[in-house]
């Protein structure tokens, strides 16, 4: 595998950062996950816009222009001869000392990884995923706003650990008021009486790129979509549940906290949106040649 690191393509064994990099020491940095399908980078503009917004929110100046970063991503894909890939773009505060002061980090570190990913076992896309609600609450927007895709992902990792300890692959997370927010790595949707529902951004939900794609798809299919406050009671009594994310795409959920969702099978709205999403990713995106 070849990695783009601070302007150079290097073998992965040479892709190294300093132990004094504040991304390592303090999780001081931001990242973005992007997908390419058949030599098309899906929603590249939207992903890079969010990447720059995250960096701006923590006062981290990205050392590349948007166009330069786009070219670096394509260069990384070509170096690895990848038509279908998961792309991870990361920038850190850079090398500093053992103190917190970001002023002592003069040069940000930036790297790009392009590889394959299989977030969930393929068979779960046909039969559905099991979810559990975990004790760890989603970070409060007044503490560390989840809108920032920060390298400090410990909140999500703790939730993932709790899900794993309960025998589930994904965790449902609530906010401090007990409202449904999202999962450790995915946004969540439910269907009730033909209406698509998903938690609003205001409760601490990440404005996921795939989340927005699904909302647009639903509208194109004349499916009404709302963003109300949701509780676990609402999810327990839903007709369908599914998760969305760049890595996960759209994956159905058929069990939550030991309760079957409806009849425990993947529902028609989920199936329709999964098919529509698959068609979309093969039609849209920034094209590149290997």
Q: Quick one: pLDDT at residue 110?
A: 98
**Fold adopted by 2-115:** D-amino Acid Aminotransferase; Chain A, domain 1 (3.30.470)
- Residues near 193 by beta carbon (within 8 Å), at least 6 away in sequence: 239
Name the pLDDT band for 206 (thresholds 50, 70, 90).
very high
Other CB atoms within 10 Å distance of the CB of residue 238? 20
The mean of the pLDDT values for the chain is: 97
Q: What is the pLDDT of residues 20-42, one digit of tens each?
A: 999 999 999 999 999 999 999 99
Does the active-site annotation cover 149? yes
Q: What is the pLDDT of residues 60-116, one digit of tens each?
A: 999 899 999 999 999 999 999 999 999 999 999 999 999 999 999 999 999 999 999
Tokens representing residue 82 in the block: 């990848």
Spatial contact of 177 and 237, defined as CB atoms under 8 Å apart: no
Q: What is the pLDDT of residues 147-198, one digit of tens each?
A: 999 999 999 999 999 999 999 999 999 999 999 999 999 999 999 999 999 9
Q: Quick one: pLDDT at residue 119?
A: 86
**Fold adopted by 124-281:** D-amino Acid Aminotransferase; Chain A, domain 2 (3.20.10)
> What does the domain layout of the chain look like in residue ranges?
2-115, 124-281
**Residue of 2, 43, 149, 160 with catalytic role:** 149
Q: Quick one: pLDDT at residue 117?
A: 84
C-alpha neighbours within 13 Å on the C-beta side of residue 240:
23
| Helices first, then strands: H and E counts in the chain | 8, 16
Name the pLDDT band for 118 (thresholds 50, 70, 90).
confident
């Amino acid at each position: 595998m070849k990695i783009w690191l601070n302007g150079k393509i290097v073998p992965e064994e040479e892709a190294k950062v300093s132990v004094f990099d504040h991304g390592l020491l303090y999780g001081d940095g931001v990242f973005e996950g992007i997908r390419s399908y058949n030599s098309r980078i899906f929603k590249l503009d939207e992903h890079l816009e969010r990447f720059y917004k995250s960096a701006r929110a923590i006062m981290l100046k990205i050392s590349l222009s948007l166009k330069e970063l786009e070219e670096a991503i394509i260069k990384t894909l070509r170096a690895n001869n990848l038509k279908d890939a998961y792309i991870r773009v990361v920038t850190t505060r850079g090398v500093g000392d053992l103190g917190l002061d970001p002023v002592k980090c003069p040069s940000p570190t930036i790297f790009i990884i392009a590889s394959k990913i299989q977030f969930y076992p393929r068979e779960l896309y046909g039969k559905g995923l099991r979810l559990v609600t975990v004790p760890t609450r989603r970070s409060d927007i007044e503490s560390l706003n989840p809108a920032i895709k920060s390298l400090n992902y410990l909140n999500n990792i703790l939730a993932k650990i709790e899900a794993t300890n309960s025998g589930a692959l994904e965790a449902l997370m609530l906010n401090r008021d007990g409202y449904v927010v999202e999962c450790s790595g995915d946004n969540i949707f439910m269907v009730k009486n033909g209406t698509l529902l998903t938690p609003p951004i205001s409760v601490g939900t990440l404005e996921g790129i795939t989340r927005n794609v699904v909302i647009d798809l639903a509208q194109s299919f004349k499916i009404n979509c709302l963003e109300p406050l949701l509780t676990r009671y609402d999810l327990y009594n839903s007709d369908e549940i599914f998760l969305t994310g760049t890595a996960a795409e759209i994956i159905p959920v058929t069990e939550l906290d030991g309760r079957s969702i409806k009849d425990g099978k993947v529902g028609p709205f989920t199936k329709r949106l999964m098919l529509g999403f698959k068609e979309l990713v093969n039609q849209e995106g920034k094209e590149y040649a290997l």
